Structure 1
Amino acid sequence: MIHVENLRKSFVVHKREAGVKKAIASFFCRKNERIYALNDISFDIKRGEIVGYIGPNGAGKSSTIKILSGILTPDSGICTVDQSIPWKNRKEYVKNIGVVFGQRSQLWWDIPVIDSFYLLKEIYEMNDTLFQESLLELTELLQLKDILKTPTRQLSLGQRMRCEIAASLLHRPKLLFLDEPTIGLDAVSKLAVREFIKKINREHQTTVILTTHDMQDIESLADRIILIGNGRVLLDGTLDTLRQYVPKVGASLDEIMVELYQEYNL
């Protein structure tokens, strides 16, 4: 479903030293540095997989997700999703994907959640039958009935995240990107979200790419792990493959990740 080959993405960063004189001097002689967020990464993901895309801050995870969702254009390389190039013909492409960013909202802040859902229905050009079926299913599975008429700004974090996930799945996407979907949630809400993700993957064969620092999310959901660091793919395999890199008996996934970060100087 997803094919990524030799993908590169860089950004130019402007740098200057502290102080007023240095600030004035930078107007006339600006120092630039090119940073490679992605440096020749390659991987393939099959339909129906749940993949944990993990790594330290600044590893290149968000840049990859933004390229796969069509927000960024890479410097070079090949990237296709269902034989489509994400950043070309984006209007048609985004009808088949859903995105949840834990730190950003796609719900309108001052209006009831249900009104945001109806706006998304028009944006995705959904017919009434599909919308009502999808809304009913998501409302039941994510327990949204009592909060649909509440403005987004009055929801708790856990309630808002459940609504964000529902908003991303209303149009029945084939591919779902989850960036820190359980950030700040209590234990009960985390379990509910995890069970829901497994259910839609099982019933609708939704492909899920999960980016998170919560190793319990990874352990509970992911069939496969892609570890990225310094813009490169460092490891690609199952959780058992990951554990083989750290011989310590009974080590937790968090301990294993610390060992790997130290080994790769991340």
Structure 2
Amino acid sequence: MNAVCRDRPRCHGIIPARFASTRFPGKPLTDILGKPMIWHVYQRARACPELCGVTLATDDQRILDVAGELDIPATMTRDDHPSGTDRTLEAAERLGVDTDDVVVNIQGDEPALCPELLTLLLSPFDDPAVQVSTLARPLSPEEARSPDVVKVVTDAQGQALYFSRALIPYPREGTGEFLGHIGLYAFRMRTLRAFVDLGPGKLEQIEKLEQLRLLEAGIPIRVLRTEHRTHGVDRPEDVPSVCTLLREQGLA
């Protein structure tokens, strides 16, 4: 499909997509400008030249059937995974991803995904010491106060120190710089396996943020900064605004 990664390990994109959802059942098949959401996500992901391939990972025959009709590579996974990351690992194992390869967990509800974000996400893997990467963008003080927005703080080298829905860092005087986490992850395959084997950590269970599992285990997360915003579809009422965005970007 795309060119093999040049100076880094092979990079595989996986889009976990489950049919059941408390807030939005059947979301992956939601019509977005005449195509199901998964089609848009797949097309945006495969536009990233660093990815050697993109595969949909689902637990539902309806999604698998639609993927087949649209020529989207897909694999069926178990229906009891507690998270999309667990589903991503099963799909990567089914695909025979090598231990040192890189796996990108691509959110299945981002039909307006910017391929350049995936390129940025993969950029640090030239360094063999990098195990996991994710993204963050600057926040205004007003955005940072919302518990719906996950914040991250990093050290001087861009390694994550902590993630929280709380206001971090807390400005005792004046204001501070705030970074909002963007929920895209790239893992080396061996680290993805380690993540699942660890099981939920204490901080993860308190904050309901699975990336804290890695920090609790002493596994560093490289955070790349971007000015791009993502536009996920969490609820049915988010669909019209995403359709408008896609039209504005000439992607209708």
Scaled by the length of structure 2, the TM-score of the pair is: 0.26
- Relative contact order, CA 8 A, sep 6+: which one is greater? 1
Scaled by the length of structure 1, the TM-score of the pair is: 0.25
> Which is helix-richer, 1 or 2?
1
